[in-house]
Amino acid sequence: AEPEPMKIMISGPPASGKGTQCELIKKKYGLVHIAAGDLLRAEIGAGTENGKRAKEYMEKGMLVPSEIVVMMVKERLLQPDAQEKGWLLDGYPRSLSQATALEDLRIQPDLFILLDVSEEILIERVVGRRLDPVTGKIYHLKYSPPENEEIAARLTQRFDDTEEKVKLRLKTHHQNVEDVLSTYKDVIFKVNGDAPIEGVFAEIDKALSSILDKKSRTDSAS
């Protein structure tokens, strides 16, 4: 039988590199990437009531109320693709109540990756970040520039990517992170996220392949 698929959470302050690492993890391990922020931006884009409410909080760098976020993530997580291939939960849970909601469903990660990045670096990353609306790819003007002029010309910026707003997002992160970490203390894997993209991924890659290894050994033993 196939070994159980991997279940991974990734957390870290705003612009610490969660989305960037998720792209690399997804490419190598085929996990289904579920990003709370992306789900919320999709609601905003679709012009739904939930999207409108969510945007008011996101503009202030605050957590969107749980009654909007919890159902949205839960529904995505329970879809067949995520159950079959395994999942990579990005930016969720971000509060004790969100963590508790998952515990109640007996949803637990094999690993909780925490990207640790210093504050000056975060601000530089936010201000230089750009997104390609066509491919969804994340760029940085200095660290990960677009491949050609055509892409460069269509890049967009997120509405909450200003120095002022990232400070508010960072404050929200500091207020909530300890509660979440205490829930997952047995599976936390802290990575130095100040390093270049490939270096950060190398650390994560090692941890994930060892989990996969363990899972396949347990499986063949049973």
The catalytic residue positions are 18, 94, 129, 158, 169
Contact between 12 and ligand AP5 by CB under 6 A: the answer reads yes
Q: Is 109 in the site for ligand AP5 (CB under 6 A)?
A: no
Q: How many CB atoms lie within 10 A of CB 213?
A: 11
CB of 7 to ligand AP5, least distance (A): 17
CB closer to ligand AP5, 175 vs 218: 175
Q: In sequence order, what are the beta bridge partners of 189?
A: 113
Question: What is the pattern of x (binds ligand AP5, CB under 6 A) and - over residues 190-219?
Answer: ------xx--x-------------------
CA distances from 133 to 12, 19, 130, 157 (A): 24, 15, 10, 10
Q: What is the DSSP letter of 2?
A: P
Q: Which amino acid is at 121?
A: I
What residues from 134 to 163 belong to the interface with ligand AP5 (CB under 6 A)? 138-140, 143-144
14 contributes a contact to ligand AP5 by CB under 6 A: yes
Does 5 bind ligand AP5 (CB under 6 A)? Our answer is no
Rounded distance between C-alpha atoms, residue 181 and residue 99, angstroms: 10
Candidate segments 7-15, 75-83, 145-153, 209-217, binder of ligand AP5 by CB under 6 A: 7-15
Residues 32-57 as b or e (16 or more Cβ within 10 Å = b): bbbbbbebbbebbeeeeebbebbbeb
Q: How far is it, in rounded angstroms, from Cα 88 to Cα 34? A: 6
- The yes or no reply on residue 34 touching ligand AP5 (CB under 6 A) is no
| Binding residues for ligand AP5 (CB under 6 A) | 12, 14-20, 36-37, 40, 57-58, 61-64, 69, 91-92, 94, 98, 125, 128-129, 138-140, 143-144, 169, 196-197, 200
